[in-house]
Amino acid sequence: MIVAVKTQAVKIKELKLDIERIGPVSAILMQPDNARACCVLAHGAGTDMRHASMDKIAVGLAERGIATLRFNFPYTENKQGRPDQPAVAHATIRAAVEEAARLCPRLKLVAGGKSFGGRMTSQAQSKAALPGVRGLAFLGFPLHADKKPSTERAQHLAHVEIPMLFLQGTRDGLADLGLLRPAVAALGAKATLHEIEGGDHSFAVLKKSGRTNDEALAEVLDTLAGWIDKLG
């Protein structure tokens, strides 16, 4: 299927990823004609690849010349309530990365996603490099559970050797900036933190901020696209 996004055509392809010893999951490739990169985009724990927020991100990146490969984790594909074990999530992410590389062989490849999806991607990368992936992007890194400040979830990031971008709302209840800022700083030059002023875990802002949720999301996507362009 081909749809128009602003002034350009975007190809949308529905796919099935076959995860070894786990089974198939659905995926969607959205590729604008002028694509210069592809982002493998994993969804958060309480959503799936077709959630309105994921669609907005994919469309917004397409408008900026970035293709996306979205996919379901097995638990969402099979309509189970509890997220998959990390090993299952990692295997799913690897299959998605391999498919993105096959379908978009000439495009710069990055990976990451929303919340749980981004964290599972970084865990997978820390255990064994995702082939061809040049950087990881986190759209709301879940540093800890709500109202339970901790940095344990960041410990594996020290084993990630490629650039990382943390896009984080300053009102995010799952990432105390007093803990996240030093955790990112400890990673050195390979890590970048961009704070979305007034944004929560989904980058929604309060009305009194003087801007809309769409404007906050535009900042997220502009920052992400600019960071991707600078990757070697």
Residue with tokens 């490969």: 69
Q: Answer yes or no: are the C-beta atoms of 227 and 167 closer than 8 Å.
A: no
Distance CA 22, CA 72 (A): 13
Burial of residue 26, with CB atoms counted within 10 A of its CB: 0-12 exposed, 13-18 middle, 19 or more buried: middle
Rg of the chain, C-alpha, whole Å: 16
Q: Is the pLDDT of residue 20 over 70?
A: yes
| % of the chain with per-residue pLDDT over 90 | 94
Mean pLDDT of 12-16: 96
Alpha-carbon distance of 83 to 62, in angstroms, equals: 28
Q: What's the pTM?
A: 0.95
Q: Which helix (H) or strand (E) element contains residue 61?
A: helix 52-63
122-162: per-residue pLDDT in tens? 999 999 999 999 999 999 999 999 989 999 999 999 999 99
Pair of tokens at residue 41: 């985009």
**Count of C-beta atoms within a 10 Å radius of residue 173:** 14
Mean pLDDT of 172-195: 98
pLDDT number for residue 162: 98
Q: What is the pLDDT of residue 7?
A: 64
Mean pLDDT of 72-81: 95
Q: What is the pLDDT of residue 71?
A: 98
Residue 54 pLDDT class (50, 70, 90 cuts)? very high
Percent of the chain, pLDDT > 70?
A: 97
Grade residue 8 by pLDDT with cuts at 50, 70 and 90.
Answer: confident
pLDDT at 18: 95
| pLDDT over 70 at 48, yes or no | yes
Tell me the C-alpha distance between 78 and 179, whole Å. Answer: 35
